[in-house]
Amino acid sequence: MIPDEKTITTIPTSPALPSHESATPVGVAAIHKALQTMPLSPGVYRMLGRKGEVLYVGKALALKKRVTSYTQVHRLPERLRRMVSETAYMEIVTTHTEAEALLLEANYIKRMQPRYNILLRDDKSYPWIILTDRHEFPQIAKHRGKPVKGASYWGPFASAWSVNQTLNLLQKAFLLRSCTDSVLQSRTRPCLLHQIHRCSAPCVDLISQEDYGALVQQARDFLSGKNPRMHEELVRQMEEAAGALQFERAAAIRDRIRGLSAMQQDASVINPTTMSDADIVAIWQIAGQSCIEVFFIRGGRNNGNRAFFPSHARDEGAADVLAAFLAQFYDDKPPPGQILVNHAISDNELLGRALELRRGKRVEIIHPQRGEKRAVLEHAELNAREALERKLAESAGQARLLRGVADLFGLANPPGRIETYDNSHIMGSHAYGVMVVAGPEGFEKRAYRKFAIKGPVTPGDDFGMMREVLERRFSRALRDREEGIRPDDWPDILLIDGGAGQYSAVRAVLDELGVTDVTLVGIAKGIDRDAGREWFHTATRPPFQLPPRDPVLYYLQRLRDEAHRFAITTHRAGRSKTLVKSELDDIPGVGPARKRALLNRFGSARGVRQAGLGELESAPGISRDTARTIYGFFHPDWTGE
């Protein structure tokens, strides 16, 4: 767990007002000022710029000694020299131990994303297998997000595909239900999963609670790796059933054996017999970039693998990147008992103690030199190298495309950020605008934005929607620019789906906002609406077309189509939420249970609206006061008499 935070501020934590900026010490002077009141205890320090933005987060056994090293600028690498020159403020948090400081540092880095730290860009949650405990017929299912009480968890799994595959095989092998409790209670006959031998149908009492409990225990043992002889036991049961002429039971056990065998074969890509619960972590570096491949081993089975591409300076060594990755990777998930790494980590013991605090049990970080563990690490290394080579090849192709875009639109350098905008609505309803972002690494989905249009929209008034989107997009960035700061998310090219009319309208909005240093491009299909014959509109040349097979044309089409896809998806999601919303949701005191009781009694929200007061009072689960509240909601002129 993250230690309690006790913040000790050595100089003001909030940025100074612009009128006081001239008096604010910057660089080494700011660090010297912070050192005047800095303790020698363990903790975490944060270096901040003039606007309060976090530049760097570090941890130390003795804060004052560690921070003092930043005043000796001639001994620092170029990257840290730049960081020191931008530092205007410092904040510290003291902790009891250095291990707690390491955990807190990793949490801060992951939350604040300071640009001078090694960053793990991992915005996805990991799926788990969940088995409910507080039910006579426990449910097995996939779960993401926060843990819930009354359930057991196995995982994590590398992807939704890997957990779905495992769930399918578990259903074949152990016949556990995957339906929700409400579905279980409402069924009157077995579902399709029972017909295809993936469920034992406890919903209609085709299996006793005792026999179902035995299946649950077998599943628990298998997932925990506690019953390696389960296959032999099932074979024995099948032979006994066949010998007793119970052929249906023998066939059912045979199907379970097939499911179990398929699961064991699926886990044999990496099948370390000497490990039960471990993560295999291998890093590979090429041209100053890193790829880290992680294999999840749980219960002796392979739960899949994922490749990560942390962001860091080109001169960072593999061991340092790996150590920073592990601290951030396990910030929101429990580490296993063993972590195998392909590079020795200098603070191996400290990192192990920190992860033990996270897990509550011993954690070993092992750098094996020979044997089976070394073999599986070499396999992970190979995957990391191949993934990084693929990414570099894709990046090289992306770089060529961006150079082509720069040449096409007269930019001095390849664009680092291209923003594409689109709108979606139906006759002015459920109106949304979207922004899609692309750059040297391809589509940057973390930077996508949705804009629910707040102002009144006239059907077909795309200009009005675009004005609102651009004003909201650039308002904060423009305030920063007025104070002399160029935002990190300032675009080089702004691409819109439209012809001369849309281009002129957007150009007018940008000029009105004061956005003059962004290249605006309009892309229109033209009169024939033929993809491949698009017309481009810019400020520097008359409308023009590109050759039909030009790679830059394909790239710009992809940007336009991605924005269109994202706009349609956003619009449909918003419209679906409205469609499933009921009038009953707005009645005070009516929650899901009472809403369900009302719908079961009256059939629809319309039936509830037309019901009399006496009918409402007689509905199951509806008290007299609640009935009067519901009746008054639909009859505003009713006085309550």
pLDDT over threshold 60, residue 4? no
Average pLDDT over residues 368-395: 88
What's the pTM? 0.71
Which of these ranges, 80-89, 129-138, 401-410, 601-610, has the smallest mean pLDDT? 601-610
> Do 583-634 and 28-117 have the same topology in CATH?
no
pLDDT at 8: 38
pLDDT over threshold 70, residue 428? no
pLDDT at 24: 63
The DSSP output letter for 544 is B
pLDDT at 9: 38
User: Which sequence spans correspond to the domains of the chain?
Assistant: 28-117, 128-266, 278-390, 418-480+488-574, 583-634
Which of these ranges, 28-37, 191-200, 458-467, has the smallest mean pLDDT? 458-467
As a whole number of Å, the end-to-end CA separation of the chain is: 58
Average pLDDT over residues 180-194: 86
Which tops the pLDDT comparison, 2 or 343? Answer: 343
Say how far apart CA 105 and CA 327 lie, in whole Å: 9
Of the candidates 239, 194, 200, 204, the residue with the CA atom closest to the CA atom of residue 216: 200
Q: Is the torsion defined by CA of 11, 12, 15, 18 positive or negative?
A: negative
In the chain, the percentage of residues whose pLDDT exceeds 90 is: 28
C-alpha pair distances (Å), 371 with each of 228, 274, 374: 23, 10, 5
CATH class of 583-634: mainly alpha
Q: Which fold has domain 28-117?
A: GIY-YIG endonuclease (3.40.1440)
Superfamily of domain 418-480+488-574: UvrC, RNAse H endonuclease domain (3.30.420.340)
For every residue of 46-115, DSSP letters joined together read EEE-TTS-EEEEEEESSHHHHHHGGG-GGGS-HHHHHHHHH--EEEEEE-SSHHHHHHHHHHHHHHH--T
What pLDDT, in 10s, does the model give residues 566-583? 988 887 777 666 555 667
What is the distance of C-alpha 547 from the center of its chain?
39
Say how far apart CA 269 and CA 384 lie, in whole Å: 15
What pLDDT, in 10s, does the model give residues 503-555? 888 898 888 888 888 999 999 886 665 666 788 999 888 989 888 888 899 89
pLDDT over threshold 70, residue 486? no
Q: Which fold has domain 278-390?
A: Nucleotidyltransferase; domain 5 (3.30.420)
pLDDT at 458: 66
393 phi-psi bin (left φ>0, alpha ψ -120 to 50, beta other): alpha
pLDDT at 17: 37
For every residue of 573-605, DSSP letters joined together read HHHHHHHH--GGGGSTT--HHHHHHHHHHHSSH
Residue 571 and residue 451 in contact, taking contact as beta carbons nearer than 8 Å: no
pLDDT over threshold 70, residue 15? no
Q: Peptide bond preceding 415: is omega within 30 degrees of 0, i.e. cis?
A: no
pLDDT over threshold 50, residue 267? no
